[in-house]
Amino acid sequence: MNYFVTGATGFIGRHLVEELVKREGTVYVLVREGSRGKIDALVQRLGVEEGRIVGVSGDLSEAGLGVKDFSEQIDHLFHLAAVYDIQADEGSAVRANVEGTRHVVEFANSHDVGRFHHTSSIAVAGSYKGVFGEDMFDEDQQLPHHYHRTKYESEQIVREGVKAKTLVFRPGIVLGHSETGEMDKIDGPYYFFKLLQKLRSALPEWFPVAGPEGGNTTMVPVDFVARAMDHIAHLPDEDLPGDTFHLVDPEPMSVGQALNTFARAAHAPQFAMRIDQNLINVVPKGVRAGLNAIPTVKKIRNQIYHDLGIPPEAMEVRDFRCTFDARDTQRALAGTAIAVPALDSYATALWDYWERNMDPDLFRDRSLKTAIKAKKVLITGASSGIGLATAVKIGEAGGEVLLVSRTREKLEAVAEQVEQAGGTAHVHPADLSSLEDIERLAEELLAVHGGVDVLINNAGRSIRRSVARSYDRFHDFERTMALNYFGALKLILALLPGMRERKTGHIINVSSIGVQTNTPRFSAYVASKSALDAFSRCVAPECVADNVKFTTIYMPLVRTPMIAPTDMYKAFPTLTPDEAAQMLCDAMIDKPKR
């Protein structure tokens, strides 16, 4: 028995080959000349003897697959090679799914294969409403996405062009292995795992949240797909109940139910209130389209998708409007142990594998060096305390820092430390309580450096005095507002336009934990910090589309010269300037809101 497989090193292909090598015969796999290492890896993975899996040089993009001098009889040809990525551009999808299938059909017809097994997809149903049977294909259904269209066209090529006995397999949404959880890429429901992870981090497991009910979705583990294809492909003609098989869950669930299953596996809050699509459909389609077309709405929606790692295309095709009948598949598998396991029986394995091996955050370069590479970081209050410690850390990461404070001599000493640590430093003395001097500083910064990429508003003045002792000290409030709010605000307004124009920027405001706790005797200080906090929260949404981020750090008590005059602070637990500086470095890396 000889097998020929395209897409053998793909996700479904690897598991199918694993089933085929359990039978007698040779498995020939199509491989590009430069990718033979994948075949070696597959042989090693499966642990089969030499000669059971043989690579055949060729290319899906060439006529007849570009295969030369292949004369072996092919009993079964499995065509799995395709672009399954919903984010792939239409040109790539057409070349692989449509033209590639045409070339496979040419190859099969010229080599007189015994059976042709085509891996299609339930995507051929498009937006069909009702029950979509295994004997259905051209039902005038709409095909809203190019992925639907290319899968439909490729199946049509097979139906019309293959001379041999042909079986078509239409898998549902293919998940990882039901026992190991193994998966090779983020796709389908995996796009929503980051959302569940963030909900778990933000809320207790028992907290009810609202979410979509959605339409039907049918998900199956890859091991079921491979075993079902292998079994059905080898049935004699008289035992085949049909020629097309839906490899789907015969008991589909809604999107909301599936999300809750994964939420339980992740120990995340569940969607207790699920909104039925019919409620949304009450709003006229034109009104919904108009709302979604509003630039602000689109920008906010796309930013949310981006932060969660959800491609907009995934939201467009997240569910189906039909139910897939799989009676022929059930009849073909009758009497075997091959069946779709309940999602909740293996959801934990899928989640665990994703969190340990596929979570995008595992692959992020969370180094300060990368975060500030080729960026100019401006630090106010850089001559001592938190500012000095932050500047040195940036220097150790090889960064470029612009130092701002009152005294040039102190700044030059800091600059020397930064450069000794391996960074680049520029000194810009300025009185940040003087609006005129800030204006001069801003003009100087723009003229010398062309702009700032990261602005850290660290300079501040603190006054500890009860309101009873402040009735005749209005100047205390003026002084704190001048530096803590108006000074920082003036600098933001001067540098923000350049950031928005360059479509990149990060503004970090060193606030105080007092803003959150309303600490007595600090009314002047907390009010000034609260003003800057409120300004930033209001302005941040306006700058989302320009990729300018705002971060507020509610800093606890730090052992700096600012608190030195107050003896009582010596009895309080405090952070060191180095610990506080690390918070600023983490903010430059992660860019959180607060």
Assign 466 a pLDDT band (cuts: 50, 70, 90). confident
Cα four-point dihedral sign 22, 28, 32, 34 = positive
pTM of the predicted model over 0.85: no
Mean pLDDT of the chain: 88
Q: What is the number of other CB atoms lying within 10 angstroms of the CB of residue 381?
A: 25
CA distance 492 to 489: 5
Judge whether 80 and 13 are in contact, CB under 8 Å. yes
Structure-block tokens of residue 278: 């019919």
Please state, for a pLDDT cut of 90, what percent of the chain lies above it. Answer: 62
CATH architecture of 1-171: 3-Layer(aba) Sandwich (3.40)
| 198 has a pLDDT exceeding 80 | yes
Please state, for a pLDDT cut of 70, what percent of the chain lies above it. Answer: 90
Of 309-323, 344-358, 493-507, minimum mean pLDDT range: 309-323
CA distance 53 to 64: 21
Distances (CA, A) of 257 to 186, 264, 331, 343: 20, 11, 27, 10
Q: Which CATH superfamily is domain 368-590 in?
A: NAD(P)-binding Rossmann-like Domain (3.40.50.720)
Judge whether 465 and 525 are in contact, CB under 8 Å. no
| 176 has a pLDDT exceeding 90 | yes
Q: SS3 sequence, 459-509?
A: CCCCCCCCHHHCCCCHHHHHHHHHHHHHHHHHHHHHHHHHHHHHCCEEEEE
Each residue's pLDDT tens digit, 199-231: 999 899 999 888 777 778 899 999 999 999 999
- 10 Å CB burial of residue 502 (0-12, 13-18, 19+) is middle
Judge whether 109 and 146 are in contact, CB under 8 Å. no
Each residue's pLDDT tens digit, 501-538: 999 999 999 998 877 877 787 777 788 888 999 999 99
- 10 Å CB burial of residue 481 (0-12, 13-18, 19+) is buried
Judge whether 372 and 394 are in contact, CB under 8 Å. yes
Structure-block tokens of residue 113: 């294969």
All structural domains of the chain with their residue ranges: 1-171, 368-590
Q: Which residues are catalytic?
A: 525
CA distance 91 to 157: 18
CA distance 191 to 186: 6
- Rg (alpha carbons) of the chain, rounded to whole number: 31
